[in-house]
Structure 1
Amino acid sequence: MSLVKPDSVPTQTFDWGMIKWFITPGATPGAGMTFGEVILLPGEGHTRHNHPEAEEILYVLSGTGLQMVDDKPPYPVGPGDTIYVPTGIYHSTVNDGWEPLRLIAVYNPGGPERDLEALLDFREVPAGTRARLIRG
C-alpha cells in the first residue's frame, strides 16, 4: 500500500519516548529503507548507540535537543535541522527543552528499527490504540 495512516501502525514506547515506524522493509512490500517519527520526552533521549549496517538521517520537526555524532561534543538542534549519521557511527539525541522533541528518522537500508525491540523498556501499543506520552 502506498498510503500509511498513523493509526494503521503500532507505536513503540520506551521510558524516553515513543516511535511510529510508517515504512519498514518488514511491513511494507518492496521497501528497502525505514521511515518514522520519534518523540523524545523533555529531559530524555536515545543514548549513545550505532547502526553497524545503516546510515541514518534525522530531521527535527519541533522541540530542541542536543545531538552527538561520532563521539564529538554535542551540539544544539531545533526545528528544520537535518542530521546525517554515517553507517556505524556512534550518536545520541537528548531533548534539552520543556516540550517533546519530534524527529523524522530514516534508516538506509532499513532494519535497525528491529534492534529497539530488544531494549528492556520496549513496549508496543497496537495499531489504532492511543499511546500515552508517560507510562504509568
Structure 2
Amino acid sequence: MSGTEHSHFKIKADEIKPDSTLKEERGWHKMDVRWLVTGKNMDSKQTVVGRTIMPPGVKSRHAIHRHPNAEEWEYIISGVALKHVGNESFVLRAGELAFIPRNVYHGLENHSDTETLVTLWGYCGASSLEEAGYVIPEDGKD
C-alpha cells in the first residue's frame, strides 16, 4: 500500500495558528495553544485534540479550571509538568499521561526553569471548548 503526503485527515500542528483569544484573566498564562481537532476544523462530534507549548522561566501555566461536559487527558511530549487534579498535585514527565474526570478541577504548570513543556491533550464527549464548558473558581458556579 502506498501513501500520500496530503490528506484531509492529517493535521500538522505547526501549521495551525495559536489561539489568540485565550486570556490570562481566564487562566491561560503564557501558553501557545493550538486546537488540532475540533468540530469546526475536522467535523469531530465528540473529540477535541490540542497541543500546548509552555516556555520555561516565565511562570507559564493553565490555572485551575473544570469542564462540566467533558473528560480530559493530557500527555507530556517533552519537559516536566506539575499537574493538579482535584486535591492532588503530582509531577508528569515525557511519556506520562494524566486523566481528568468530567467536572473535576485541574491545572498545569511548567515545572522547569530551563525546559519547554510540550503537551498533547484532548476532551472526550465534546467537539469544542464551548461544548466541554470552561469554569474557573472565580465564576462562583460551585
If the TM-score is normalised by the length of the shorter chain, which range does it land in? 0.7 to 0.9
Number of paired residues?
A: 115
- Aligned residue for 1:27, secondary structure, equals helix
* TM-score (ref. length: structure 1): 0.75
Unaligned runs of 5+ in 2: 1-7, 21-27, 135-142
User: What code does the residue aligned with 2:18 have?
Assistant: T
Q: Structure 1 stretches of 5 or more lacking a match? A: 117-136
1:64 is aligned to 2:71: no
How far the C-alpha of 1:22 sits from its partner, in A, is: 1.1
CA distance in 1, matches of 2:120, 2:69: 19
Shift of 1:112: 5.0
Establish whether residue 21 from structure 1 lines up as the match of residue 35 from structure 2.
Answer: yes
The amino acid of 1:85's aligned partner reads I
Distance in structure 2 (CA, Å) of the matches to 1:9 and 1:82: 23
Q: Identical aligned pairs, as a percentage?
A: 23
Structure with more contact order per residue of length (Cα contacts < 8 Å, sep ≥ 6): 1
Corresponding residue SS for 1:89: coil
* TM-score, L = length of structure 2: 0.72
Look at both structures and tell me which one has the larger radius of gyration over its CA atoms.
2
1:92 aligns with 2:99: no
Mapped partners of 1:29, 1:79: distance in 2: 30
Aligned mates of 2:76, 2:126 — CA distance in 1: 20
Q: 1:29 to 1:92 in 2, by over 3 A?
A: same
Which of 14, 19, 39 aligns to 1:12? It is 19
* Between structures 1 and 2, the one with greater helix share: 2
Name the aligned partner's letter for residue 21 of structure 1.
W
